[in-house]
Amino acid sequence: MSALTLADQDPPATIPFAIYQPPAPRSITPGCPPNPRRRHKPAKDQETLWPTTVDPEVQAVADVVARQFRDPVVPEANRTWLRKSLSLRQFYCDWMLPERLLRVERRQLAKGTLDKDRQSLSRWERFSRPADWSPEKAWPGVPIGAITSLYLDDVIQRMRLELGAATTKSTMSHLRTIFNHAVKVRALEFAPKPERLKTEARRVQIYRADQIEAAYGALASWPDLQVAFVLGINAGPRPVDLFLLRRDQLDLIGDRPTLSYRARKTGKEQVVPLAPVTVRQLLRLSNTADTYLFPGRSSPAALEPEKSKPARRRRDIIKAAFAKVGLHFPKPFQAARATCNTRLNSVRDGTGLFVLGHGLTLNAKSYMEPSELIFEAMNAVAQPACFERF
């Protein structure tokens, strides 16, 4: 066996500590692995070891990121120009819409909210337009910095005279959101505030039992509208959701048939139990191969389906048919939705809140999972005899 040197042996206990010097550990900054490109000599003519030119594709992505995730504050140098130059719609499109589109994509905001924003801006431009403004010239509205509380109040009062208090209040709610966002990004120092709008409590219209029978009979010439009416009375979707329902959203197999859809107004995914008579009515539509349950009654591609020509024709047909039997409901399917709520709550209080998407009740943990109590209440509602005649 060859002799071991002192360096190859463990230090004996008798050797003073000063004689044995273990090697110093390598100094590494926590969280930073060793750089394999480390040089002993500093680089010349550049401050970094990485390439100084950026790949064009990387730069393109960086430009998109800079636009989409820019600092949401108007630079101080641009604020005066913005207040004097951009209209309310232009400010919304440049500084607010990108953020709202991102929230819609993440399902943090209902897509219908954007429709309401655009509608409110259109109303603002319509009612702020000067009486002597040339009809051949588009009116963009005054710059956002010129909108004072008194001016806003004047426009809102004109709006109220024609649209009514409830519609004006809804419009002002969206305009207020835009003004508050302008303050948030420092485009404005403060948001203009009109006088508080007072609205009278609206009386909700519902169908009586005899009116349900009369309405169902009035639609006898249009079987698909009869089915839609039964679905509105028993399941309560909003008209914009009802007439855009697809066949793949129905599950009619088994003892727990359901309808699944995403509410356009709120963005909520909902599963609604279906009563047996509702299922039998829906089976009347099984002879067609269309994707949608009610083809031709709305326009899926339209930005606002309920303002499309098919929807207007549908409303004209229903109102004319109802008028012949003495029914005059301004919004027949909104009244059907309210009737659904009343009928369900009469069996078990809270059922209507769940079915209409207004609250998680009766042990339901989500809108996608109706509880046993909700299924029972849906099946217990007394159904008009006319729903069995088709």
Q: Which domain holds residue 338?
A: 209-388
What's the pLDDT score for residue 99?
87
- The domain boundary, picked from 150, 184, 218, lies at 184
> Is the pLDDT assigned to residue 89 strictly greater than 80?
yes
Per-residue pLDDT, 1:
45
Please check whether residue 321 is in contact with residue 250, taking contact to mean a CB–CB distance below 8 angstroms: no
In a domain, 151, yes or no: yes
In the prediction, which pLDDT does 108 show?
A: 80
Cα 54 to chain center, whole Å? Answer: 38
Would you place residue 56 in the very low, low, confident or very high pLDDT band (cuts 50, 70, 90)? confident
pLDDT band at 208 (very low <50, low <70, confident <90, very high): very high
Q: Which of 55-69, 140-154, 215-229, 297-311 has the lowest mean pLDDT?
A: 55-69
Which tokens hold the place of 314?
Answer: 């549908």
Average pLDDT over residues 298-311: 91
**Confidence band for 15, pLDDT divided at 50, 70 and 90:** very low
Contacts of 385 (CB under 8 A, 6+ apart): 213
- What pLDDT, on a 0 to 100 scale, did the predictor assign at position 303? 80
Of the residues 151, 184, 217, the one at which a domain ends: 184
Sign of CA dihedral 246, 248, 249, 255: positive
Let me know whether 289 and 378 are in one domain. yes
Q: Are residues 221 and 110 in the same domain?
A: no
| Helix %, strand %, coil % of the chain (to 5) | 50, 5, 45
Q: What is the pLDDT of residues 232-245, one digit of tens each?
A: 999 999 999 999 99
10-25 mean pLDDT: 50
Are 173 and 241 found together in one domain?
Answer: no
Is residue 237 domain-shared with residue 145, that is, in the same domain? no
Q: Do both 241 and 155 map to the same domain?
A: no
Domain-located, residue 251? yes
Beta sheet of 250-251, edge-to-edge order: 250-251, 258-262, 269-273
| Tokens at 47, concatenated | 């401050």
Last residue of a domain, which of 121, 149, 184?
A: 184
Output the CA–CA distances (angstroms, integers) from residue 219 to 213, 321, 322, 371, in the order listed: 10, 7, 8, 34
Query: Domain check: are 381 and 247 in the same one?
Result: yes
Helices (H), 129-164: 149-163
Q: How far is it, in rounded angstroms, from Cα 179 to Cα 255?
A: 51
Position 268 scores a pLDDT of 84
Report the number of distinct structural domains present in the chain.
Answer: 2
Residue 334 lies in a domain: yes
Place of tokens 């919004």: 331
Task: Give the model confidence (pLDDT) of 353-362 as tens digits.
Answer: 889 888 877 7
Residue % of the chain over a pLDDT of 70: 83
Q: Identify whether residues 369 and 248 lie together within a single domain.
A: yes
Q: What is the pTM of this model?
A: 0.60
Q: Check pLDDT > 50 for residue 6.
A: no
Residue 202, by phi and psi: left (phi above 0), alpha (psi -120 to 50) or beta?
A: beta
Task: State percent of the chain over pLDDT 90.
Answer: 51
Given its phi and psi angles, is residue 363 left (phi above 0), alpha (psi -120 to 50 degrees) or beta? Answer: left
Does residue 253 share a domain with residue 146?
A: no
d(CA 93, CA 175): 13
Residue 223 belongs to a domain: yes
pLDDT value, residue 366: 80
With 90 as the cut, is the pLDDT of residue 67 above it? no
Q: Per the domain annotation, does 167 fall within a domain?
A: yes
Tell me the per-residue pLDDT of 108-161, one tens digit each, with 9 for 90 and over. Answer: 888 888 989 999 999 999 999 998 998 888 898 999 999 999 999 999 989 988
**Do 254 and 379 have their domain in common?**
yes
pLDDT at res. 370: 87
Distance set, CA 121 to CA 86, 235, 302, 362 (Å): 14, 33, 19, 40
At 32, the pLDDT band (50, 70, 90 cuts) reads: low
pLDDT of residue 253: 85
Q: Give the burial class of 230: count Cβ atoms within 10 A of its Cβ; 0-12 exposed, 13-18 middle, 19 or more buried.
A: buried
On whether both 223 and 308 belong to a single domain, the answer is yes
Q: Is 56 a domain residue?
A: no
Pair 255, 131 in one domain: no
Assigned domain for 339 exists = yes
CATH of the domain at 373: 1.10.443.10
Q: Are residues 276 and 334 in the same domain?
A: yes
Mean pLDDT over the full length of the chain: 84
- The rounded distance, in Å, linking the Cα atoms of 123 and 136 is 18
pLDDT band at 230; cut points 50, 70, 90? very high
Whether 37 is in a domain gets the answer no
What are the pLDDT digits (tens) for 305-331? 998 999 999 999 999 999 999 999 999
> Could you give the CA distance from residue 108 to residue 102 in angstroms, rounded to a whole number?
9
Longest dimension (CA), the chain: 118
